[in-house]
Amino acid sequence: MVEVEELRPHADHMSTIEDSDSVASIVARITLFNAGFEEHKQHFHHTQLHGTVGRDFDCIENTLDELKHKFTQLKTQLKALGSESRNGTLDVAKYRAKDDLASTRYHDPWALKLEEYKRYGRQLIMPEVGMPGQLRLKASSVLIVGAGGLGCPAAAYLAGAGVGKIGIMDGDIVEVSNLHRQVMHNSAWVGKSKAVSLGNALRLINPLPRYEIHPYHLVPENSAIAAGYSMILDCTDRPSSRYLISDMAVVHGIPLVSASALRTEGQIMVLNDPPVSSDSEKAGPCYRCIFPRPPPPESVQSCGEGGILGPVVGVMGVLQALEAVKVIMRPPDRPANPPSLIMFSAYGSQMFRTMRIRGKNPTCSACSSDTTITRQSLESGSQDYMAFCGALEASDVLAAKDRVSVMDFASMINRSGTPVNHTLVDVREKPQFELCNMLGSVHVPFSLLRRWKNAEEATTALSIDIESHEPIYVVCRLGNDSQATVNKLRELGIDRNGARKIMDIKGGWEAWRKDIDQSWPEY
């Protein structure tokens, strides 16, 4: 088999179509290009006669005929477009994307690759999408912060839709407890990076987009990463990250789709749309405009603490992808939708409700003209989002003398001889307590005890004598609510100014499972 030079349009025969090109000149170049193909064809006829090509000629000839047919079609289309030109000049820009999100140019005979026509055909034929919408999708870039229950379905549908570049940022690893709702991960990836796992899964769905993997957590110091994207999806579950991501979207001038899900409910908003930088009067609100103050720390729960029904977070993730696609494909002359909050309740009589929300706050600390949050202050780390949201690490709540390790607690209850009398208070919610508990423990949910007003309520619920010196040990799942409970009992005077010992079991039942009893269920 002989080596045959690859056939391709020469620069002199088929250069890039520019706005100033006339229909006649474009057609002339196509004709010249086809003439070049005929010359190649005659050459191969000659070599066949001399026996140097042999059986390869039929294949090459078929390829030449197919390419000729394609360019003949283009020639016909360009002639048809000539009637729409002014003074013999083809307004090619009319058929290009008309905004920054769709700057793809018609370098090839077809605006998309043939594979893209076939892959995206079912949405291309929709009037809401069409060629302009698909080109905007292809030219867009979306950063997804969080590769969990929200990020998995959102990323899958954005990849399937043909978004040009998708960034995935998450510093966590895949755990078995994730798999019931984070459906793009699988058992083979347990213990490995969520960002890498999701990226690999997306490539199997659609290998055409560019995927950028960021296997680390978002912090103010690395927020400059947003500069490489035209949209952000907030798929996290903490207030501190929500404020950070919103500020990041504002300073970089890009829209944000923010969603949350917990238990059987979810909500979603499109923020900073259009961005502040586009038009200060028409700009959409940011997260701080809607929620100037964060919720009380004790009222905040993550999926790991409050629980989540898998399809609920899946619905919200799919809605994030839908809202993102709508924003990306929106023509530049069409205004953004009024700001609204979509609420979902799996068990509600009306599963979806839409509520109009306030617009841009003229005194907002993030997006107003008097903002104190700039790109420089953000990336310098001077903004303390954990402190702003009142979130402290569990180890900072109580002093070391007020906590006991699971090792020491196990030694105490298993001590030979006279057992140490004590009261073990389990403050997990009822569904968790029913999964597994220690015999003899007193169950009082944290959601109930934090509303106690006086010592009488506490002693009645705990079935304890206020005058007793018997120590009280408090345990929860991870060691967070138990510390708040110790402080609450002290505020009510149960410790009698230190006369009675009230201790937190450090690390909760999760630490007990790891260090003491591996048969304790992990959930």
Mutual angle of helices 130-139 and 114-124, in 10-degree steps: 120
Contact 203, 190 (CB under 8 A): no
Q: What is the tens place of the pLDDT at every residue in 206-241?
A: 999 999 999 999 999 999 999 999 999 999 999 999
Residue 476 a catalytic site member: yes
Kindly list the strands in the beta sheet with 340-345, ordered across the sheet, starting from the edge strand earlier in the chain: 210-214, 165-169, 141-145, 231-234, 256-262, 265-271, 340-345, 352-356
Q: Which residue has the higher pLDDT, 420 or 187?
A: 187
pLDDT for 397: 76
pLDDT band at 54 (very low <50, low <70, confident <90, very high): very low
Q: Any known ligand binding at 235?
A: no
pLDDT band at 276 (very low <50, low <70, confident <90, very high): confident
Provide CATH code, domain 140-357.
Answer: 3.40.50.720
pLDDT band at 383 (very low <50, low <70, confident <90, very high): confident
Whether 140-357 and 394-515 share one fold: the answer is no
**Across 84-93, 155-164, 332-341, least confident range:** 84-93
Q: Who's near 293: CB < 8 A, 6+ residues apart?
A: none
The pTM of this model reads 0.69
Q: Any known ligand binding at 208?
A: no
> What percentage of the chain exceeds 70 in pLDDT?
75
Bridge pairing between strands 352-356 and 340-345? antiparallel
Nearest to 238 by CA among 360, 364, 388: 388
pLDDT for 82: 47
Residue 303 a catalytic site member: yes
Distance of CA 34 to the CA centre of its chain: 48
pLDDT over 80 (residue 165):
yes
Q: What is the tens place of the pLDDT at every residue in 26-42?
A: 444 555 555 555 555 55
Q: Any known ligand binding at 103?
A: no
Residue extents of the structural domains in the chain = 1-95, 140-357, 394-515
**Across 264-273, 402-411, 415-424, 508-517, least confident range:** 415-424
What 3-state DSSP class applies to 478?
Answer: coil
Nearest to 182 by CA among 216, 207, 156, 147: 147
Q: Which residue has the higher pLDDT, 516 or 383?
A: 516
Q: Any known ligand binding at 86?
A: no
Q: Any known ligand binding at 253?
A: no
Catalytic residue among 152, 235, 303, 389: 303
pLDDT for 213: 98
pLDDT over 50 (residue 83):
no
pLDDT over 80 (residue 129):
yes
pLDDT for 309: 95
Average pLDDT over the chain, rounded to whole? 83
Dist CA 173 CA 189 (whole Å):
9
Contact 413, 403 (CB under 8 A): no
Which CATH superfamily is 394-515 part of?
A: Rhodanese-like domain (3.40.250.10)
pLDDT band at 195 (very low <50, low <70, confident <90, very high): very high
Q: Who's near 207: CB < 8 A, 6+ residues apart?
A: none
Dist CA 483 CA 497 (whole Å):
17
Catalytic residue among 152, 235, 389, 476: 476
pLDDT for 42: 54
Dist CA 238 CA 219 (whole Å):
13
pLDDT for 417: 57
pLDDT for 30: 53
Q: Any known ligand binding at 286?
A: yes
